[in-house]
Amino acid sequence: MMRIRISPLIAAAVASCLLAAPGMALAEKITIAIGGSAQSLQGQTTKRFADALQERLGDDYQIEYYDSGQIGDEKQLVQKLRLKTVDMAGISTVMSSVVPAFALFDLPYLINSREQMQRINDELVMTDLAERARARGLVPISTWENGFRQITNNRRAVNTPADLKGLKIRVPPSEWRSMMFTQWGANPTPMAFSEVFVGLQTGVIDGQENPLTNIYGARLHEVQNYLSMSNHVYSPFWLMTGLDWWDRQSREVREAIHEEAQAAQQWAFKRGQEIDDELLERFEAEGININEVDRDAFIEASQPVYERFAERVDGGETLIERARGAEGQN
């Protein structure tokens, strides 16, 4: 049998690598995922947060960020949080199907400014709603921006609810959003966001409703002719985590996540207004027909949605009153 002599230097180097390998494996992975596109405001905000958190935590942690529904849409991400296969995720409208009180943010024309949303976040989301979410195994870490939602379609300009009659409008998987558009006369079609472009392109749906940044990020404007500025719902976007995962983290890690998430929140609220202005100019330059809706007509047609929320959600009427009260604060 041939014997191979290994020099002491090589042996030492191999031993060093073997000893180092376990150390390299100690970097703890934190997975963050969203369903929206990288170009959307939610994508930009989450990437900014992920990068800042990686820098803050250093080499002991490996932050993995996935956008565009690469590892699931929002409904799937909620389940993955509970199963602990995803550590943090950006969740928007789907939260109302998990914790009914979050349907507050599906009510039309309830939130009219980012300043009001900030106060609602401090006074309602991180207190009452956070407690309800924890009871369902989820922890809202911070409220970011999805944006004010607008209506697009290929058939006609939408000025009043009557103009929506017969239009197949894609909505998120939310009974409240479906109820709203049914009340307005449309045919709401729940559909995952990742399927919307093809649905519009093939005529399966006539239109959809989303913040401008989502419309542009997913290139929906390329297959739509009309953009009706309705501002009918302001959609927050919550950085969520599972209760078990959150409670297992050290005080230092939770503090880092919370502080970087708050910094991302302030950036998102400021950037949201800027990007809306920029995109309106871009859509106009690209030949999209843009109009303002009759806001009063839509508000009047929306009253049954408020009545249903007050009846069906525990403490619903009080939640509405508190959210409206936040608008008038100085």
| Rounded average pLDDT over 31-40 | 92
Going by pLDDT thresholds of 50, 70 and 90, the confidence category of residue 25 is: low
Q: How many helices (H) and strands (E) does the chain have?
A: 14, 10
Going by pLDDT thresholds of 50, 70 and 90, the confidence category of residue 26 is: confident
With beta carbons less than 8 A apart as the criterion, state whether 144 and 268 touch. yes
* pLDDT tens, position by position, 94-129: 999 899 999 999 999 999 999 999 999 999 999 999
Lowest average pLDDT, out of 10-19, 248-257, 283-292, goes to 10-19
| Rounded average pLDDT over 197-217 | 95
- pLDDT number for residue 27: 87
Distance CA 302, CA 15 (A): 71
With beta carbons less than 8 A apart as the criterion, state whether 111 and 325 touch. no
The most distant pair of C-alpha atoms in the chain lies apart, rounded to whole Å, by 93
Which residue do the tokens 């950006």 mark?
Answer: 90
Going by pLDDT thresholds of 50, 70 and 90, the confidence category of residue 11 is: very low
Distance CA 222, CA 215 (A): 9
Q: Give helix 41-57 / helix 251-285 axis angle, nearest 10°.
A: 150
From the candidate CATH numbers 3.40.50.970, 3.40.605.10, 3.40.190.170, 2.60.40.1180, the one assigned to the domain spanning 28-327: 3.40.190.170
Q: Does residue 243 sit in helix, strand or coil?
A: helix
Share of the chain above pLDDT 70, in %: 92
Tell me the average pLDDT of the chain.
91
The contacts of residue 24 (CB under 8 Å, 6+ apart) are none
Distance CA 326, CA 324 (A): 5
- pLDDT number for residue 273: 87
pLDDT at 93 > cutoff 90: no
Burial (0-12, 13-18, 19+ Cβ within 10 Å), 4: exposed
Domain residue spans of the chain: 28-327
| Rounded average pLDDT over 245-268 | 97
Name the residue with higher pLDDT: 36 or 31: 31
pLDDT at 18 > cutoff 60: no
Q: Give helix 175-183 / helix 303-312 axis angle, nearest 10°.
A: 150
| Rounded average pLDDT over 182-206 | 95
Going by pLDDT thresholds of 50, 70 and 90, the confidence category of residue 3 is: very low
pLDDT at 293 > cutoff 50: yes
